[in-house]
Amino acid sequence: MKDNFRQSMKWFHTWVGLVVGWILFFMFLTGSLGYFYQEITRWMEPERPFVVQQISTEELLDTAQIYLEKHAEGADGWDIMLPNIRDQNLRVGWRHPAEPGKKRGKYKIKVLDVNTGDKVERRATGGGRLLYRMHYRLHYLSTNISYWIVGFCSMLMLLAVITGVVIHKKIFTDFFTFRAKKGLPGWLDIHNVLSVIALPFHFMITYSGLLFFLFTYMVLSTNLQTNEDEYREMRKEIYPRTVHLDKTNQAAKMLDISFLYQQAKTTWQASELSYVEMFAANDVNAHALFVRHETDITYNPDDEITVNAVTGEIILSKHKQYTVAAMIHNGFFSLHEGQFSGPVARWVYFFTGLIGSAMIASGLILWTTKRKPKQMKKTNGPDFGYRLVEQLNIGTIVGLPIAIAMYFYANRLLPLDMANRINWEANVMFISWAILLIYPMFRPAAKAWYEQLQLATLVYIGLPLVNALTTDKHLFNSLNKQDWNLAGFDLTLLLVGGCFAFAAYKFKTLQISKRANNDREIEKQTNRPVQVANESLLPLQQVNKEKC
Amino acid sequence: MLVLTSLSFSIMVLFCLAMTKHREQVLESEVSMLAVRFFRPFAWLLLLFTGYLSVDMYGWSIGPALLFGALTIATLLLILLLTYRAKIVPELAIVLSLIASMSIFIA
């Protein structure tokens, strides 16, 4: 290998980053969207009603209970998800009794219209959940294979983060250094800045990501060190046991859930109920579990209150039994998913995720930028490897965001009664991505970058318009109804479109000034003026004026 | 969260002003070396205080997590400003820390 430690680390960082860079970019981007998966699902089900302001929790619980009594008879348990800042509709869920030969029954979830108390007929869609599940459960591959691929990439990412710190020579003196220069120094600064400012996040997200499928990756170690009983014991310690309350099959009259809630909430300071779980409904053994928004990353026993639904007394023993191992494990999960975060913190999570994606993208671009001068001098043109990397860069860094927009387009435009509609939403996304990966093969790199940036602008700005043409949940209505959840989605799309437009504009002006610089060089060497087309001179003059 | 981000910004500005190359970028007049020597310890003190504040506001586990998020966002903002609008950095740091301290007193 290379002569000294830092050099070999640099070599390692470069190639590890390159090999898994594109999958990591995919994982980071879809994962960042996962912080808003509930919001995305709500947007993708435009049949759901707008937010209804000023309705008390008790009224909502009553509406849910009436619906469940009527429709979820015979179910073991009920769930009532109250409207919150992330999903402003009332939702109820229940699990059907298991069919013979199966371990668990089917789980059904319904969105209720609080005005009518009835369910909302929604279109078939994968929603935000399908999109964020892709970041660890690669869509077309089998579960086991995706976990292994994801684990392999995450492990290399962890190594890239560590080696990155080793090879960064001046991590503290260059902490704030970002020189907006063209070419290599500029990209190196961007890569360094994006890595360093969010280093705690990058490390946390990669490390905790690896913990998710602990028993898949560490299978050898657990197999060698434990027998079956010990293994079961270990799993029990890590995954907290839920106290299960079975039906006794003796019917009993339950108290109203809203009444039970009034009993329960006296120990909480404010009305912060997140969801209610009902065990053994309409049975002697009926219990209601009230859960509020998380107030601790690991586990706060006070976030849950169990009430006997027949007598109305508060049960003091806790619903879940947490060991220390389980609390640490849960803590890492919660950190990874940001379950505890309020609205602002969620945006910070999302934004830091995007910083991570941008860091990976800048690393990939750095690879080509560094090799470009040498490759361009080759008589037969650049090598195949170089061209492939450039092509994959264009197709992924700009192509993937376009493909994600296509997923949203598919949601709005595919026929509502289509068979396999959910699958086709995802198919549209991956087909678009495949086209955008192949497209740069047939175009010069600079043109392909510019064209795909333009396309990205177009699709993102067009999306709120298509939304307005196909549904009544468009920006005008959502702003009017003060439904910030839906309005926020459309506004974010417009903002992303704006960013792509800016990137396209910048790219063009830089290309033109670069060409002009080249011409000036030739003029110097040959003492002969080079003709420049008028249209390319015009923006150049503007740029010069700005500089003055 | 916004309080934490505002304070983080001031912390990062102090750290950055402690470095000569960034001081030249940001400040037009010379600052006495005595004052400069206080920037870094003061930044550390403010960081300790913000850490305490985050724990006080959000508890021992969520607080530090949010603090790291706030530091990331604040640093990104500062770096972009240093490159494109370096001159407004001191004003913004003062305004943001005023808003932060006001909201602490009100709450």
- What residue spans define the domains of chain B? 2-106
- Predicted pLDDT at A163: 93
Test the A interface: residue of B58, B62, B84 with most A CBs within 10 Å = B62
What's the farthest any 2 CA atoms get from each other in chain B?
Answer: 43
In a domain, A500, yes or no: no
pLDDT tens, residue by residue, A428-457: 999 999 999 999 999 888 899 999 999 999
**Single-letter amino acid, residue A306:** T
- Predicted pLDDT at A542: 42
**What burial class does residue A294 get, using C-beta atoms within 10 Å of its C-beta: 0-12 exposed, 13-18 middle, 19+ buried?**
middle
pLDDT mean over B73-101 = 89
Nearest Cα residue in chain A from B70: A348
What phi and psi values does residue A94 have, to the nearest 5 degrees? -155, 155
- Predicted pLDDT at A548: 36
Q: Do B72 and A331 touch (CB under 8 A)?
A: no
Q: Do A178 and B15 touch (CB under 8 A)?
A: no
- How many beta-carbon pairs below 8 A join chains A and B? 66
Count of domains forming chain A: 1
In a domain, A107, yes or no: yes
CA-based nearest distance A347→chain B, Å: 10
Average pLDDT, chain B: 88
What phi and psi values does residue B8 have, to the nearest 5 degrees? -60, -40
Q: CB distance from B61 to chain A under 8 Å? A: yes
Compare A41 and A223 and report the one with higher pLDDT: A41
For residue A356 the two structure tokens come to 């991570």
Task: Report how far apart, in Å, the C-alpha atoms of B4 and of each of A250, A340, B48 are.
Answer: 54, 17, 12
Q: CB distance from B19 to chain A under 8 Å? A: yes
Does pLDDT of A60 surpass 80? Answer: yes
pLDDT tens, residue by residue, A28-53: 999 999 999 999 999 999 999 888 87
Task: Report how far apart, in Å, the C-alpha atoms of A513 and of each of A447, A517, A532, B83 are.
Answer: 15, 6, 11, 20
What interface predicted TM-score (ipTM) does this complex get? 0.92
Assess contact for A22 and A388: CB atoms under 8 A: no
pLDDT mean over A131-160 = 92
Q: pLDDT tier at A543 (50, 70, 90 boundaries)?
A: very low
Q: pLDDT tier at A533 (50, 70, 90 boundaries)?
A: very low
In a domain, A157, yes or no: no
Test the A interface: residue of B5, B61, B71, B78 with most A CBs within 10 Å = B61
pLDDT mean over A463-468 = 94
Does pLDDT of A16 surpass 50? Answer: yes
What phi and psi values does residue A194 have, to the nearest 5 degrees? -65, -30
pLDDT mean over A471-478 = 90
pLDDT mean over A352-360 = 95
pLDDT mean over A465-476 = 92
- Predicted pLDDT at A456: 96
Q: Which residues contact A45 (CB under 8 A, 6 or more apart)?
A: A111, A120, A122, A123, A125, A127
Nearest CB among A180, A198, A344 relative to B1 is that of A344
Per DSSP, A222 falls in state H
pLDDT tens, residue by residue, A242-282: 766 777 778 888 888 888 888 887 777 666 788 998 888 88
3-state SS, A165-200, equals: HHHCCCCCCCCCCCCCCCCHHHHHHHHHHHHHHCHH
Does pLDDT of B53 surpass 60? Answer: yes
Which residue do the tokens 């033109």 mark?
A512
Strand order in the sheet with A314-315: A118-119, A107-113, A90-95, A77-81, A273-279, A287-292, A304-308, A314-315
Does pLDDT of A547 surpass 70? Answer: no
Top mean pLDDT of A172-176, A468-472, A518-522 is at A468-472
In a domain, A112, yes or no: yes
Nearest CB among B19, B61, B80 relative to A297 is that of B61
- Predicted pLDDT at A106: 82
pTM to 2 decimal places: 0.90
Structural domain of A78: 48-121+241-321
Nearest CB among A197, A342, A349 relative to B76 is that of A197
